[in-house]
Amino acid sequence: MRSLKNHLGFILPLIALLFSVQFSLTADKVVRDYERLMGNDYNIVIVSSKELSDTILKPVVSNLSSLEPLSPQKIIDRLSNDISAKNLSILQNALPKFYSLKLSEFPTPQYMDELKQKLLKFDGITKVETFSKTHDKVFKMLNLAKSISYAFMAILCVVGLMLMLKQAKIWLFEHRERIEIMTLFGAPFWLKSAMLYKSAMVDSLVATIAVGAFFFFLPSIEIFRENAASIDVVLPSLDPSRDIFILFGVAMFLSIFAVSLVMSKARKSTI
C-alpha cells in the first residue's frame, strides 16, 4: 500500500501535466480545424466595373480558393413592380458586377487589410467588403483559445514538476541507506540512481497510457461529442503515431529531470 501511495505521488502530477499537454495539442487541432471551417465559409465581396476571373486575380491573391459572380437578380426582381421595364433594363445594364472571393485559409486581420488595399488598386474594382469587424472578432477568439490552453499547460507543468520533485525526494529518503552503502563501495552515480530512474520510467509509462486512453476515447463520449457538434466542431482523436510519443517523451524528460535534480543536490550534500 505504501509503495502504491509513493507511486501515485509521482503518477498523479504526471497525469495532470500530460493532460495539460494533450489538452493544448487537442485545442490546437480544434482551432486549426475551426479556422479551416471559417475559411470555407468566409467570403469577400468585390464590386467591379469589369469582369474578373480566377486567373486575373491569382497574381494579386496568392491564396485564392475561388471567385464566383453574384447575381443582382434578386434586387432587380424587388424593383420590378416599382419601375418600368425600360428603366429596369437601363438599371440592369448600369449595375456593376459583384463577386464572392474565397481564400484557401483563414486570414489574419493584417493580411485582410493588405489584401483590401491591393484589390482596390486593381483596375476596375471600386469596392471591397471584407466584413472586418466580424472577421477580427472571430480571429481574436481563436487566438484567445490558443493562449488560454498554453497558459493552462504552463501552470500545470510548473505545479506538476514541483510535486514530482517532492516525490523524488521521498524516494531518495527511502533509499538513502542503500545509496550510502553503494557510495562507500565506490558505485558510480548512475548505479546509485538506478532505482529512482526505474521508478520514474515506470510511472511515466503508466501516466502516458492513462492520458492517452482518455483522449483516445474522448471523441466517442456522447456529452463531449454533442457539445462540439453544436458549434460545428469535430473533436480530433488521439494520433497514436504522434501524440503518444510526444506524451511519453515529455513524461520521460521531466521525470528524469526531476530525479537527476534531486540526486545531484543529494550528491553535493551527503551522498
CB 262 within 8 A of CB 165: yes
Last residue of a domain, one of 96, 115, 132: 132
Q: Nearest-5° angle of CA 156, CA 161, CA 166?
A: 130
148 and 21 share one domain? yes
- Residue 144 structural domain: 2-37+137-269
The mean per-residue pLDDT over the stretch 221-244 comes to 80
pLDDT tens per residue, range 216-225:
888 888 887 8
Question: In angstroms, how far apart are the furthest CA atoms of the chain?
Answer: 109
119 and 147 share one domain? no
Task: Look up cell 493552462; give the residue.
Answer: 152
Comparing CA positions, the residue from 101, 81, 85 lying closest to residue 93 is 85
Return the pLDDT at 56. 83
- Looking at the structure of the chain, the number of domains it has is 2
Mean pLDDT of the chain: 78
Return the pLDDT at 247. 92
Residue type at position 53: S
What are the phi and psi torsion angles at 44 (to 5°)? -110, 125
Higher pLDDT, 4 or 2: 4
195 and 118 share one domain? no
Most confident of 1-5, 67-71, 98-102, 231-235: 98-102
Return the pLDDT at 235. 79
Burial class of residue 93 in the structure, from the number of CB atoms within 10 Å of its CB (0-12 exposed, 13-18 middle, 19+ buried): exposed
**Helix orientation angle between 132-174 and 109-120, rounded to the nearest 10 degrees:** 150
24 and 47 share one domain? no
Return the pLDDT at 185. 57
The mean per-residue pLDDT over the stretch 222-229 comes to 80
* 11-to-105, 163, 200 alpha-carbon distances in Å: 41, 10, 9
Length of the chain: 271
Last residue of a domain, one of 132, 162, 180: 132
The mean per-residue pLDDT over the stretch 18-37 comes to 82
CB 25 within 8 A of CB 243: yes
CATH classification at residue 115: 3.30.70
Burial class of residue 209 in the structure, from the number of CB atoms within 10 Å of its CB (0-12 exposed, 13-18 middle, 19+ buried): middle
44 and 150 share one domain? no
Q: How confident is the model at residue 61 (pLDDT cuts 50, 70, 90)?
A: confident
User: Sheet harboring 44-48: ordered strands across?
Assistant: 64-70, 97-103, 44-48, 125-129
235 and 151 share one domain? yes
109-113, 189-193, 249-253: segment of lowest average pLDDT: 189-193
246 and 230 share one domain? yes
24 and 91 share one domain? no
Return the pLDDT at 1. 47
Last residue of a domain, one of 70, 103, 132: 132
pLDDT at 83 over 80: no
As given in the structure block, the three cell numbers for residue 31 are: 482551432
3-class SS at 24? helix
Task: Look up cell 475551426; give the residue.
Answer: 34
Return the pLDDT at 246. 92
11 and 103 share one domain? no
The mean per-residue pLDDT over the stretch 62-82 comes to 72
DSSP letter at 130 equals -
pLDDT at 4 over 60: yes
DSSP letter at 86 equals H
What are the phi and psi torsion angles at 199 (to 5°)? -60, -40
Q: How confident is the model at residue 206 (pLDDT cuts 50, 70, 90)?
A: very high
**CA–CA separation, 174 and 211 (whole Å):** 28
24 and 70 share one domain? no
Indicate the pTM of the whole model.
0.68
**CA–CA separation, 189 and 208 (whole Å):** 27
124 and 206 share one domain? no
As given in the structure block, the three cell numbers for residue 263 are: 540526486
81 and 198 share one domain? no
pLDDT tens per residue, range 137-189:
777 777 787 788 888 888 888 888 888 888 777 777 766 666 666 665 565 65
Beta bridge partners of 98: 47, 70
Return the pLDDT at 90. 62
